[in-house]
Chains A and B, each alone.
Chain A
Amino acid sequence: MELHGFGHLLISGFWVTLQLAVTSLVFGLLFGLLGAAAKLSPIRSLHAIGTLYTTLIRGIPELLLVLILYYGTSTLLNWLLGRYIEVGPFTAGVAALSLAFGAYATEVFRSAMLEIPKGQREAALAIGMRPWAIFWHIELPQLWRIAIPGLGNLFLVLLKDTALVSVVGLNELMRQAYVAAGNTKEPFTFYMAAALIYLTLTIISMQVTRWLERRANRGFEEARA
């Protein structure tokens, strides 16, 4: 594939895409855990907030979410804090992608949480563990194991959604391919190159997910054998 010296542009875009995906993953996992905690909470209003969050985000296009957060957050901050704060495309992108990831991750975490036998929590309470310690030492390690396959799929979706942030001008892979395509008048070559890079990222993420899955399940393989 002849890239007419625009290869470095794609590489730099690739790094931005990777940073965007990983940062959004971290915040998205956080939103997912908070969302699941809210949805499982016995407090009615928290449960309602969790449900509202997942319903709203899952019904609105990610592109619209990116646009809302890019154009809207500055206005909102201006109104809240009384001074203008510029929100860049990277921040807006991370916010949009992690909110979207979090909404779907909420469901993954919630169903994983329900899969942990209730008796474990009761046993922990019986020996006098505090709720936070129960979550940290007993529930979270198992939650992780059950949730990995679902989260892996969500990460693949997130990876592809990073392309949307090019619409608000972030110099990630898609945007750089657009620039290179415009300069060389060879759009097919560059969009195909971008597609192949996304495909490679997908394959790598699938392998990493599989490795994490095996690692998290290592205590269970022996039990089953």
Chain B
Amino acid sequence: MDQLHTWLMSMAGDAEPWASYAKYLPKLLDGAGLTLQLVVVSGLIGVCLAIPMALMRVAKSPWVWGLPYAYIFFFRGTPLLVQIFLVYYGLSQFEAIRDLGWLWDEVLSQPYWCAIIAFTLNTTAYIAELFRGAIQSVPRGEVEAAQAIGMNRYQQYRHIILPRAFGIILPAYGNEVILMLKGSALASTITLLDLTGMTRNVIARTYMSMEFFLLAGALYLLIAGAIILLFRGLEHLYSAQHRQPRLAAKGLDPQLRDQHLDDPS
């Protein structure tokens, strides 16, 4: 990081805004690191929590699907900012929570963990809803086929329905990660120095608001671009069964070789 810093400074010279960009870019990159961390951690926990929630949501008994339904409805129907404030400021209202000792001192009163908790709760609701749609759109015939060969409920979900749902969900999940990336900017409202928070911090020192907001915007665009590429790659991997296998026609024994497999040329 220090080397990057010196190199940037020497490249930029004295011309503004480049000199300030060079001076503060390492700070912004630190902020971007925190942003990524928030997105990845809450995204991973979110997926783990969303699967059981989606399974409950598709149950037939209202006693089972009622709770996840209400949860999903609340977290998708209210602003993320309210949810963050409810966790970070709201919890301190209750003495019972303030008396939790370690849990309060180290976790629930810390902005970092409050952001993780709020983002996780929020993204879980969105992912669970995606999963619900995906589970219900697995073709009926595939489930019937699984029943016909004698799979029980658990095996159907484990081997047929959930893997299919993952494939269906992947592009939409990519979108959700981008939305989470944009939502993570709200961490700056509870004093965290993520990319947005760090940018505001730098602006308070340099008074160059436009220059640094636009730089931060460019960094967000880069991260979003990287996420899109990552998910394209994942989709490519996951849709392997749909791709035509490459037939190594040229390498085959000439006698086994089928004329149709060769190039027409």
Quick one: given A60-B217, A61-B182, A61-B185, are A187 and B210 in contact (CB under 8 Å)?
Answer: no
Chain A residues with a Cβ closer than 8 Å to the other chain, count: 40
**B window 218-239: CB within 8 A of A:** 220-221, 224-225
Q: Is B146 an interface residue (CB 8 A)?
A: no
B contact patch SS: helix
Residue of B nearest to A62 (CB): B182
**A window 183-198: CB within 8 A of B:** 185-189, 191-192, 194-195, 198
* A149-186 interface bits toward B, Cβ cutoff 8 Å, 1 = contact, 0 = none: 00000001000111110110000001001100100011
Alpha-carbon distance A164/B182, docked complex (angstroms) = 12
Do A163 and B81 touch across chains, with their CB atoms under 8 A apart?
A: yes
Q: Is A131 an interface residue (CB 8 A)?
A: no
Q: Interface with B: A64-72, A80-88, A215-223, which one? A: A64-72
**B window 179-197: CB within 8 A of A:** 181-186, 188-189, 196
Q: Is B86 an interface residue (CB 8 A)?
A: yes
A-B Cβ contacts below 8 A, count? 115
**A window 21-76: CB within 8 A of B:** 55-56, 58-64, 67-68, 71-72, 75-76
Quick one: given A64-B185, A160-B80, A192-B90, are A178 and B224 in contact (CB under 8 Å)?
Answer: no
Of the residues A63, A189, A195, contact of B93 by C-beta under 8 Å: A189
Alpha-carbon distance A160/B75, docked complex (angstroms) = 11
Quick one: given A59-B178, A181-B89, are A68 and B79 in contact (CB under 8 Å)?
Answer: no
6 nearest CB pairs, A to B: A188-B90, A61-B185, A163-B79, A187-B89, A59-B224, A61-B182
**Beyond A187-B85, A195-B82, 16 additional pairs, beta carbon < 8 A:** A58-B178, A60-B182, A61-B184, A64-B213, A67-B213, A68-B210, A68-B217, A177-B85, A178-B85, A187-B86, A187-B90, A187-B92, A187-B93, A188-B91, A191-B85, A195-B74
